[in-house]
């Protein structure tokens, strides 16, 4: 399973060059990533700072980063960017978007950028009650029905888009408090 995942990730990982001018995005030099709605998902574009300055359409979500040297993943988004993407997915109804949001929610809870208050069993599945602030009110994040294949595909997409492996669902987050 892990081997398959690794192979798929290599195919999907972002290019190491600017999407506009083709210059290699150098380690530790500011670059910009943006996510664009495409088909029923999102496509990632990475650009050098100069090209980013000329971009009119900044996409669904975007952030600045500095490509990391190996062995770090060079295109990893930071937690602020990941949280921003999570927040923007809130209005999305498609099951694939809801699954993205669910996995990101669990990931951000593990990273202590969101807080899980409780989980609730509903007629059509599970609901996570997640707080944006440690002491704030919780909001419901319904978990869409999914298969193990959906889960693997969504993890692969998140790795390609954000450079993070959100991990297995067995790695359950600690609850708030």
ω before 71 within 30° of 0 (cis)?
A: yes
Confirm or reject binding of residue 16 to Zn ion (CB under 5 A): no
Sign of CA dihedral 7, 71, 26, 81: positive
Confirm or reject binding of residue 95 to Zn ion (CB under 5 A): no
Q: Can you read off the two tokens belonging to residue 174?
A: 């600690």
Confirm or reject binding of residue 77 to Zn ion (CB under 5 A): no
Confirm or reject binding of residue 18 to Zn ion (CB under 5 A): yes
Quote the DSSP letter at residue 144.
Answer: P
Q: Which is nearer to Zn ion, 8 or 20 (CB)?
A: 20
Quote the DSSP letter at residue 14.
Answer: P
Confirm or reject binding of residue 21 to Zn ion (CB under 5 A): yes
Phi, psi of 56 (to 5 degrees): -90, -35
Minimum distance from residue 47 beta carbon to Zn ion (Å): 5
Q: Which is nearer to Zn ion, 17 or 79 (CB)?
A: 17
Task: Show contacts with Zn ion in window 28-57 (CB under 5 A).
Answer: 48, 51
- Dihedral in degrees, nearest 10, Cα atoms 154, 160, 163, 169: 10
What number of chain residues touch Zn ion (CB under 5 A)? 5
Minimum distance from residue 145 beta carbon to Zn ion (Å): 42
Q: Can you read off the two tokens belonging to residue 61?
A: 């979500």
Q: Which is nearer to Zn ion, 21 or 94 (CB)?
A: 21
Confirm or reject binding of residue 20 to Zn ion (CB under 5 A): yes
Residue whose entry in the numeric block shows the structure tokens 């450079």:
163
Interacting residue ranges for Zn ion, rule: CB under 5 A = 18, 20-21, 48, 51
């Amino acid at each position: 399973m892990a081997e398959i995942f690794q192979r798929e990730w290599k195919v999907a990982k972002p290019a190491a060059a600017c999407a506009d001018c083709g210059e290699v995005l150098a380690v530790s030099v500011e670059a910009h990533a943006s996510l664009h709605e495409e088909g029923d998902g999102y496509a990632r574009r990475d650009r050098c700072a100069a090209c980013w300055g000329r971009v009119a359409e900044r996409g669904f979500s975007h952030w600045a980063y500095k490509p990391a040297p190996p062995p770090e993943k060079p295109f990893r988004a930071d937690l602020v960017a990941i949280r921003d993407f999570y927040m923007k997915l809130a209005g999305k109804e498609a099951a694939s978007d809801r699954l993205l949001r669910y996995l990101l929610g669990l990931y951000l809870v593990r990273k202590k950028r969101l807080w899980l208050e409780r989980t609730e069993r509903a007629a059509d599945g599970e609901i996570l009650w997640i707080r944006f602030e440690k002491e704030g009110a919780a909001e419901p994040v319904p978990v869409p029905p999914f298969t193990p294949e959906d889960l693997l595909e969504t993890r692969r997409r998140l790795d390609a888009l954000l450079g993070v492996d959100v991990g297995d669902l067995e790695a359950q987050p600690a609850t708030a408090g």
